[in-house]
Amino acid sequence: MLQLANSIRDRSAWLRIRETPAAALLLTVVLYMISTNPAFRTADNLAVLAQDAGILGILACGEALVILTSGIDLSVGSSLAMAACSAGALMMNGVPWLLSAIAGLAVGFGAGLFNGFLVTSRRLPPIIVTLATLLLFRGLTNVLTGAAPYNLLPESFKAIGRGYASVTAFLIVALMLWVFLGRSRLGRHLVAVGGNETAARLSGIPVAGVLRRTYATAGLCAGVAGMIMAAANGNAQWTLADGWELDVIAAVVIGGVRLTGGEGSVLGAGLGALIIVVLRNALFLSGIPVEQYGLVTGTVVAIAALTEQWRRTMERRT
Amino acid sequence: MRLRLPAETGVAAVVMLAYLWLAVSFPTFRESAGLAVLLNNAAEIGVIAAGMTLVIATGGIDVSVGSVAGVSAIAFAKLLTSAGWGLPEALLGCLTVGLLCGFINGTLIARFQLPPIVATLAMFAAARAGAYVLSGGESISDLPAPLISFGYGSFLGIPYPVWPAAAALVVCGVLLRRTAFGRELLALGGNREASYLSGRPVRRIEALVYTLNGLLAAVAAIIIVARGATAIPDAGRFSEMTAITAVVMGGTPVSGGKATVLGTALGVLAIGLITNGVRAYGKGDIWVLLMLGLALLLSVEVDRWRSGERRVAA
């Protein structure tokens, strides 16, 4: 509270909060949409918005952890599809939905663990590892499922994708990870590794263990998002979330998480995801074809990164 | 004394294995025509991977090349059809579009110090969308006959599209090994800070590398359009992934400071072999991705073994 009071008194302190630009941008876009487009504030549209925001938000929270360690995970979309299809296959074979969903989460976790293993004990650069697993997981999912969709999912499972369940899950995940980063030992270690890996190692932080857990958590987040996405679509298919890794990374960047690691927050990544989803929705409501959204998201990513760069030079000067 | 194997060992092993596999299972592969088809299909990846080697040598990455190729391809076809330009002018126009995209990347990265992956990610999204805006989502055909014959003809038994690919690889190899620019570039990739403090024109070199990469993406676009006889807004999709895979497989480390264009050429060949092999088996393109992922892991693993790095993180 005191900190907040201080920031109100000292105007430049607002600039020092990393999430300010993202929050301001989100507020502007939402206010603009509310005032200009009546279709935006209909209950149906808000429900769609909440559903998308939940899925992208959960992915972005996991990605933020990886990027905070100065790594990157390009495989989240593929891990999501693999987890969703595993759960879908089990459900179609009569396994109770809760058990199948837990198995799906385990697959996501395992995918993340595999990335973490390659990054730590094989000492491979994260971008190469996750590029390979992006191809590998997607390919495996296609081959193992025979490209068949799992679309006869039980109603009780589909319920977890309906209404505001997805955005609630996102808020819970974000809150948990936020507390985890700020309050737990592993969380502090994670940020320390991203800030300066050598320094972290020399101060006795088990770097490899921290990294493995980070990638595994990102995989688990992809699993959670996968369950929600499959439930929301009523269909688990190998093409699920194809190409989403870029939207996820864009969300994290817009949220002010530094790509070289060590600075940023889950909160920012969540805000970034909301911005992307609201922008997509705004473009959709204006009748612009999906393929053209990139012009807006690309520009927003570049502007967000430039703002972040400018903020840092300002900070250095004061 | 430990025998030091060259950096291309891993990729050479992959190429040999893939070739043996194909030559044994498909007799047509042993004929020169089979090889010509393979090279023709790999041509645009060769062009893109040549530039990508230089980018990765600086310690950067460029994920936008596929999208830049897409927007250049559409611009090229639009200039030829709706604008009614002649072939030479349209070729120049296409190259200019690629150059401009690369220049924007270079400016964002070198002048404004954005991380390469962020800047090129933004371009990745924007350029692809630009291709859709320009084309209205339609593919463009009715292209001039000389262009299409370029896509199908051959010179000295080697398909036309392979020539610019070979040229791009040779030029990038010479640039890297034989010129001051190449040395500056490797120095920048090896240690940016040291390079800057020794008064090297770090920013100019970095900007140039990305601009060159944009230009090469446009060259790839011309090949794609000529070979397909149409320009689709989706042209070049996934080629950035394939090109990065080729470069890394070839033995160029993503940490920068070292590079081998020969390795990249072999990487392109390996990808061509794998792609053709998978298609020869009648499997879908998803198998190509699967095999590429495996080949990538295999070659970095061989590279680890070669460089004798057994170190495990603490």
CATH class, range B9-19+31-305: mainly alpha
Burial A226-235 (b: 16+ CB within 10 A, else e): bbbbbbbbbb
pLDDT at B313 over 50: no
A253 contact B CB<8A: yes
| Chain B residues within an 8 Å CB radius of A207 | 313-314
A135–B290 CB contact, under 8 Å: yes
Of A52, A73, A21, A80, the closest CA to residue A271 belongs to A21
Task: Indicate the length of chain B as a whole number.
Answer: 314
- pLDDT band of A64, cuts 50, 70, 90: very high
Average pLDDT over residues A123-150: 86
Q: Which residues of A276-293 are buried (b: 16+ CB within 10 A; e: fewer)?
A: bbbbbbbbbeeebeebbb
Kindly tell me the sign of the dihedral angle through the C-alpha atoms of B14, B20, B22, B28: positive
Residues 147-186 of B with CB under 8 A from A: none
Range of the domain at A173: 21-29+45-312
Taking alpha carbons only, the member of B300, B290, B224 closest to residue B48 is B224
Mean pLDDT to the nearest integer, B111-140:
86
Q: Which of residues 46-65 of B touch A (CB under 8 A)?
A: 61
Q: Does B133 touch chain A (CB under 8 A)?
A: yes
- For A203-212, the CB contacts below 8 A with 24+ separation are A206/B314, A207/A120, A207/B313, A207/B314, A208/A120, A208/A121, A208/B312, A208/B313, A208/B314, A210/A69, A210/A186, A211/A69, A211/A71, A211/A116, A211/A119, A211/A120, A211/B313, A212/A113, A212/A116, A212/A117, A212/A119, A212/A120
CATH number at residue A57: 1.10.3470
Instruction: Give percent above pLDDT 90 in chain B.
Output: 21
Specify if A137 maps to a domain.
Answer: yes
pTM of the model: 0.84
Q: B306 or B196: which carries more pLDDT confidence?
A: B196
Domain contains A39 = no
- Which residues of chain B does A289 touch, with a Cβ-Cβ cutoff of 8 Å? 132, 137
Residue A289 near chain B (CB below 8 Å): yes
Q: Which residues of A touch B121 (CB under 8 A)?
A: 246, 249-250, 253, 298, 301
Q: Does A78 touch chain B (CB under 8 A)?
A: no
Does B113 contact A at CB distance below 8 Å?
A: yes
> Is residue B53 within 8 Å of residue B244, measured between CB atoms?
no
Q: Do A140 and B130 touch (CB under 8 A)?
A: no
Maximum Cα–Cα distance for chain A, whole Å?
63
Nearest to A298 among B113, B122, B287 (CB): B122
Nearest to A143 among B129, B290, B313 (CB): B290
**Domain assignment of residue A14, yes or no:** no
Instruction: Indicate the pLDDT class of residue B314, thresholds 50, 70 and 90.
Output: very low
Taking the C-alpha atoms of residue B11 and residue B248, their distance in angstroms, rounded to an integer, is 9
Assess if residue A168 is contained within a domain: yes
The pLDDT, as a whole number, for residue A1 is 44
Give tens-digit pLDDT for A233-255.
Answer: 888 888 888 878 888 988 998 88
Give me the pLDDT at residue B311, please.
45
In chain A, how many domains are there? 1
The DSSP bridge partners found for residue B214 are none
Chain A residue at shortest CA distance from B286? A139
Cβ of B117 under 8 Å from any chain A Cβ?
yes
Provide, as residue numbers in chain B, all residues whose Cβ is less than 8 Å from the Cβ of A123. Answer: 304, 309, 311-313
**Residue B309 contacts A where some CB pair is shorter than 8 Å:** yes
Spatial contact of A112 and A217, defined as CB atoms under 8 Å apart: yes
Whether the pLDDT of residue A43 is over 60: the answer is: yes
> Is it the case that residue A273 has pLDDT exceeding 80?
yes
CB contact under 8 A, B314 and A246: no
Residues in B touching A215 (Cβ below 8 Å): none
Q: Which two tokens stand for residue A214?
A: 């980070």
The whole-angstrom separation of Cα B183 and Cα B34 is 38
Q: Is the pLDDT of residue B7 over 80?
A: no
Task: Indicate the residue of A132, A147, A259 with minimum beta-carbon distance to B297.
Answer: A132
CA distances in angstroms from A82 to A111, A126, A219, A223, B286, listed in the order given: 9, 20, 11, 8, 14
| Residue B71 token pair | 């927007």
**Least CA distance to B291: which residue of chain A?**
A136
CB contact under 8 A, B300 and A208: no
Q: Is residue A226 part of a domain?
A: yes
- Say yes or no: ipTM exceeds 0.90: no
Nearest in space to B75 (alpha carbons), one of B58, B53, B93: B93
pLDDT in tens, B151-195: 777 778 778 888 888 899 999 989 888 888 888 888 888 888 888
Interface test with chain B among A73, A127, A135, by most B beta carbons within 10 Å: A135
State how far the Cα of A55 lies from the Cα of A230, in Å rounded to an integer.
Answer: 10
A40 inside domain = no
